[in-house]
Amino acid sequence: MKIGIVLGSTRPGRVGDQVARWVHERAARRGDAEFRLIDLRDHPLPHLEEPPGFSGRYEDERTRAWAATVAARDGFVFVTPEYNHSVPGVLKNAMDHVHVEWNTKAAGFVSYGGVGGARSVEQLRLVCGALQIADVAPQVTLPLATEFESRTVFKPGDHQLAALDMLLDHVVAWSTALAPLRGGDAEAAVRGRLDEVVEALRAKDLEALRGVYAPDVVSFDVEPPLQHVGVDAKLKNWAKVFTIFEKVDYELRDLTVTVGAGLAVGHGFGRVSGTLPTGEAVAGMWVRATFVFRKTGAGWVIVHDQASVPFDMVTGRGVADLEP
């Protein structure tokens, strides 16, 4: 299971980062799940500048990056303060930006504030219900008066560790139990691997990409040579993209996945875009994208992928300005 620890405050002078680190450090000692800290400061989302996310398709690159981050997790721990008896606006905005990516996952709450952030969690449980997130009963409540020195330096009592462990136990257990409802079958696993590719490309994380490809992957790309053989050659190709763009974005649209006995094929449309070191935005081009997966002991890995563009029969030139 992959669990995201969402830091729900972006305010200057926040104490939530101390709490989130405490949660992450404790969770990292476990062997039953992978935990990742997700700071909303790294996802500066606008205030709902596009339609509701029921389709799972988004136009704004900031929303697409956030959707990929949420989609790649099986469950969440929300670290939240309480603002005026309610949820921080930035956290509510992040939850409202996407929808299907939250569905049939589990969540727990670590809250802090004047009364431990309890009223914020009350509101969040209602939001989770609307987003089809199963919120677990155990929670960690951290009053400023007792768990923070001078209300600014986080120094939790030892008893809070037991409460946190119980919370994590439940989040992992419910995330695991809900896997079949998320399509915990092969198709959902394959789609999850492609979500990892998207997330890793946007983070320019070559090591994360390495784990998605088979060591003997064969890749047909739109640029020479005719094929890239082996994971090192594939990563070298992506590294070249990372040197071209200061910021990388990658989109997949109209993806269809077909699963067989130990093999799966996905096809759709992909586009690499980004921002050059000069600050110039490059829209990129849509290509036809095909992925072939093989099931291994470590899960589904890409053994072949192919990107192609149609060409004009008369001129022999590629047609790179088509839209899906």
* Amino acid, res. 321: D
Share of the chain above pLDDT 70, in %: 97
CA gap 172, 29 in Å, rounded: 14
Q: Where are the alpha helices (DSSP H) in 131-158?
A: 144-147
56 Rama class: left (phi>0) / alpha (psi -120 to 50) / beta:
left
Strand (E) or helix (H) holding 196: helix 186-203
In terms of Cα–Cα distance, which of 76, 68, 100 is closest to 1? 76
**Interhelix angle 159-177/16-27, nearest 10 degrees:** 70
* Amino acid, res. 41: R
Tens of pLDDT, residue by residue over 10-40, are 999 999 999 999 999 999 999 999 999 999 9
- Residue 208 DSSP code: H
CA-angle at 204, arms to 71 and 215, nearest 5°: 85
How many of the other CB atoms lie within 10 Å of CB of 22?
Answer: 20
Provide the whole-model pTM.
Answer: 0.64
CA gap 292, 219 in Å, rounded: 10
* Cα atoms in the 13 Å half-sphere on the side-chain side of 20: 23
Mean pLDDT of 273-298: 91
Contacts of 37 (CB under 8 A, 6+ apart): 4, 5, 7, 20, 21, 24
User: What confidence score (pLDDT) does residue 298 get?
Assistant: 66
User: What confidence score (pLDDT) does residue 144 get?
Assistant: 95
More confident site: 161 or 314: 161
Mean pLDDT of 249-259: 90
CB-neighbour burial class of residue 184 (10 A; exposed 0-12, middle 13-18, buried 19+)? middle
Tens of pLDDT, residue by residue over 172-225, are 999 999 987 775 567 878 888 999 999 999 999 999 999 999 999 999 998 888
Tens of pLDDT, residue by residue over 83-139, are 999 999 999 999 999 988 899 999 999 999 999 999 999 999 999 999 999 999 999
CA gap 301, 69 in Å, rounded: 19
Sign of CA dihedral 261, 262, 263, 266: positive
259-298 in b/e form (b: 16+ CB < 10 A) is beeeebebbbbbbbbbeeeeeeeeebbbbbbbbbbebeee
Tens of pLDDT, residue by residue over 37-86, are 999 999 999 987 777 666 566 778 888 889 889 988 999 999 999 999 99
Confidence category of residue 260, pLDDT binned at 50, 70, 90: confident
User: What confidence score (pLDDT) does residue 55 get?
Assistant: 59
Q: Please say if the pLDDT value at position 160 is more than 90.
A: yes
Q: What are phi and psi of 9, to 5 degrees?
A: -130, 140
